[in-house]
Structure 1
Amino acid sequence: MHHTRRHVIMGAASIALMAPFSGISRASLSEAEFSPRDGELDFDVFRNGSAIGHHTIDLQQDGNRTTARIDILLEVGIGPLVLYRYRHQNTEIWEDGSFKSFASKTDDDGTPYAVQAVRDQSVIRVTRDHDEDYEIDGLGILPTTYWNEQTVHCSRLLDTQKGRVMAVTVMPQGWQTVRTAAGMVEAQGFAISGDIELNLWYDRKNQWTKLSFPFKGDEFDYQLV
């Protein structure tokens, strides 16, 4: 939640990196290691063990184009009283295994953000309603949506809430057993540090399986439904 400070807190966006993993090359970001898929990834989000919302990614494949529609809704409160509400919606496009664009809207407890990023050959143009527009070199950078396992092979991530470039370092944590709503599964863990701090897991089919991060003494966890 796929991340400004609150965006990271709620897991709505930011990470990627080109790490020195054995057998992994920079080419994996532009070549056909990306495997398109249809279907939905649905996570329940927990804060200190209590459910606070959901993070859903609807993946649709049409020929060489993959569309990912992301919806995040998080509410923290006391009983029926909502003290904090976060809503993030994002549509992301890939073609031929390469990231092409995203367009996002966020309501961070009453503060709105809108970001659009479009790749034009080797450049990504970022348009923001709350800050200056800019262009960046698009090599080795992906948006902070996490569903694509290539995320852990990048050194930079493009924050989908505020459109900022996030520098990250990724360290593999080995294969672990993680809990999902359907039972325990084996997944490889990755610790992300730098402009964002969190942990990601992907199963043996390279499907995003889990996310967790600490924030101000609280623990946030995603559980795959």
Structure 2
Amino acid sequence: MPLRRLLPLVTALAISALPTMAAPPLPDGSRSLAFDIIRHGETIGSHSLVFNQRQGMTEVRIDVSVKVTVLSFTAYRFEQHGTEVWVGNRLKTLAIDSDDNGSRHRVVADLVHGKLRTVVDGNTADYPEMPPATLWRAVPAATTVVLDPTDGRPTFISTTDAGWETISVRGQPTRARHWTWDGELKRDLWYDGNDTLVQVRVMGDDGSEVIYVLR
């Protein structure tokens, strides 16, 4: 579930000074991940990822659906659907449609001559390469800016390695590395020993805790 921005964006000059960092390996073979999104002990949505490798590229299909109801009325709705295509550790293209409670955006990003050419609702901007904030792969520890797939803007974060923890995954105790994001996006992310995303924690705009639980 997306969070409201907490800090203003800095200038494009500051963005251009950011280094390009190596990232963890992509998943091997074709597979999928599916999460239930839990709030106050109730399932309010789902987040699914489907990975397919072909012709040296990895395609990731992303589908997110959230609906919060209060007394049978829909208080909040979020939909996000799209794809990423990776070549090695570089994002080649991204195309995502989002509806954040009625605020709709289409984000398309393509790697062009070493820049991330981003088109949001028909408006084009060029940015240095940066990872998208789609969570399924751990960003490099030195990452300070990610592309928000909901609105296509560079979003500034700081990351902290909180170390290895034992958490419950599919009912089994599992060792997972805990990373925290602070700044414009706040996230708690857990990745297992294979760098697979196994749990997410987000604080909703109303202060409620939202957990992504791997099915």
Whether the 8 Å contact between 1:56 and 1:71 is mirrored in structure 2 is yes
Within a 5 Å distance, the mapping from 1:1-225 to structure 2 comes to 3=2, 5=4, 27-29=21-23, 33-37=24-28, 38-78=30-70, 80-129=72-121, 132-138=123-129, 141-150=130-139, 152-215=141-204, 216-225=206-215
> CA 1:50–1:171 in 2, change beyond 3 Å: closer, same or farther?
same
- In structure 2, do the counterparts of structure 1 residues 27 and 219 end up closer, same or farther at CA, with 3 Å as the change threshold? closer
**Bigger Cα displacement from structure 2, 208-217 vs 79-88:** 79-88
Shift of the alpha carbon at 1:179? 2.0
8 A Cα contact 2:179 2:188, kept in partner: yes
- Equivalent-residue separation in structure 2 for 1:35 and 1:116 (angstroms): 21
Q: What do the CA deviations read for 1:116-142 (whole angstroms, capped 9, x no partner)?
A: 011113101110117x4211111xx10
Are 2:32 and 2:49, in contact at CA under 8 Å, matched by a contact in 1? yes
**Secondary structure of the equivalent of 2:126?**
strand
Alpha-carbon distance in structure 1 between the residues aligned to 2:96 and 2:26 = 23
The secondary structure found in structure 2 opposite 1:143 is coil
Distance 1:52 1:155 in 2: 30
Q: 1:151 to 1:5 in 2, by over 3 A?
A: farther
**Which SS does the other structure have where 2:59 is aligned?**
strand
What is the letter of the counterpart of residue 46 of structure 1? I
Shift of 1:27: 4.5
| Aligned residues: CA RMSD | 2.0
- Assess if the C-alpha contact under 8 Å between 2:32 and 2:51 holds in 1: yes
> Structure 1 length as normaliser, TM-score?
0.82
Local SS of the residue matching 1:149: coil
- Identify if the C-alpha distance between structure 1 residues 182 and 86 changes in structure 2 by more than 3 Å, giving closer, same or farther: same
CA offsets, 1:18-63, max 9 Å, x none?
Answer: xxxxxxx96424xxx5233321110100112221010000111113
SS state at 1:5 partner: coil
More deviation, 54-63/121-130: 121-130
Asked if the contact 2:21–2:140 (Cα under 8 Å) also holds between the matched residues in 1, the reply is no
CA contact (8 A) 1:4 1:162 kept: no
* Whole-angstrom CA distance in 2 between matches of 1:190 and 1:157: 15
TM (normalized to structure 2)? 0.85
Question: In structure 2, how many angstroms separate the alpha carbons of the residues matched to 1:77 and 1:180?
Answer: 27
For residues 60 and 141 of structure 2, the distance between their equivalents in structure 1, rounded to whole angstroms, comes to: 18
Contact 1:124 1:137 in 2 (8 A): yes
Report the alpha carbon displacement of residue 155 of structure 1 after superposing the two structures with TM. Answer: 1.8
Q: Distance in 1 between matches of 2:211 and 2:140?
A: 19
CA change 1:203–1:85 in 2 (3 A) is: same
What do residues 197-221 of structure 1 show as CA deviations (whole Å, max 9, x unaligned)? Answer: 1111100011011110223321111
Residue segments in structure 1 that go unaligned for 5+ positions in a row: 7-24
In percent, how many aligned pairs have the same letter?
26
